[in-house]
Each structure stands twice: as C-alpha cells, then as structure tokens.
C-alpha cells in the first residue's frame, strides 16, 4: 500500500512533442505529490508538486494532472526540448510521515 507505481520506464519523444509520465498510488493518506528531475551526475531536483485539493497545476511547460478518485497523477511536458532529457521521478507523502515514497523513475529522451 506504500508503493508508487510509475510508467513508462523509458520514453522517447520528438522535439516539440508532449511527454507524458504516469504514476499511481494506493495509500489514500498521501496528500503531497511532487515530481523530481534528475540529470546525470546530479541529485534530483524538485520540478513541480501538487496537493489533492486541486486537479491540475501548471508551471511553464510542465503540468501535473491529478485524479483523486483514480489515485493517479501524471506529468505533462509540453513542447518538449532536448534539454528536458533526464530521469523523472514521481513521489508521494503525507503530513503524518514526511518520508517520501518514490516511483521507479522514467528516463526521458527528447530527440532533436
């Protein structure tokens, strides 16, 4: 019940296309859902995060869509650029336990 399942494992998108990464969770106590971006040789960095009181959050080209009833959330990257090539992790936590539960990661490659 503590797992966060992330898909796909890897994704190749043409420059200018839309990249979509999905995550699903079981624990209904989760109330914080961040996405992290990791470049080779670097630690993960927070990209965007959402709480379950909203269904969508947009920051620039990055959008999180959240479906509370389906217990799913997804990251959309619009107008994908080669610089977006990285590994993306979804995660979840609840305020009673600040430990983040991580998805397995998605390696995204944007082809020029």
Partner 1 sequence: KAGVTQTPRYLIKTRGQQVTLSCSPISGHRSVSWYQQTPGQGLQFLFEYFSETQRNKGNFPGRFSGRQFSNSRSEMNVSTLELGDSALYLCASTLTSGEDTQYFGPGTRLTVL
State the residues that interact with partner 1 by CB under 8 A: 32, 34, 36, 41-46, 49, 89, 93, 95, 97-105
Shortest Cβ 79–partner 1 spacing (Å): 26
Nearer to partner 1, 24 or 100 (CB): 100
Residue with tokens 């379950």: 52
- Both tokens of residue 43? 């630690």
d(CA 57, CA 51): 9
Shortest Cβ 18–partner 1 spacing (Å): 25
Shortest Cβ 49–partner 1 spacing (Å): 7
Nearer to partner 1, 34 or 77 (CB): 34
Residue with tokens 């999180």: 64
Nearer to partner 1, 29 or 78 (CB): 29
Nearer to partner 1, 90 or 110 (CB): 90
Determine the straight-line distance between the first and last CA of the chain, rounded to whole angstroms.
39
Asked if 52 and 34 touch (Cβ cutoff 8 Å), the reply is: no
Asked if 91 and 100 touch (Cβ cutoff 8 Å), the reply is: yes
């Amino acid at each position: 019940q503590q797992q966060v399942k992330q898909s796909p494992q890897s994704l190749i998108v043409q420059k200018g296309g839309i990249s979509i990464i999905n995550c699903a969770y079981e624990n209904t106590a989760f109330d914080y859902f961040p996405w992290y971006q990791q470049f080779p040789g670097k630690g993960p960095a927070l990209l965007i995060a959402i709480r379950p009181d909203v269904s969508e959050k947009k920051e620039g080209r990055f959008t999180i869509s959240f479906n509370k009833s389906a217990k799913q959330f997804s990251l959309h990257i619009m107008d994908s650029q080669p610089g977006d090539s990285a590994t993306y992790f979804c995660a979840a936590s609840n305020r009673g336990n600040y430990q983040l539960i991580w998805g397995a990661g998605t390696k995204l490659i944007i082809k020029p």
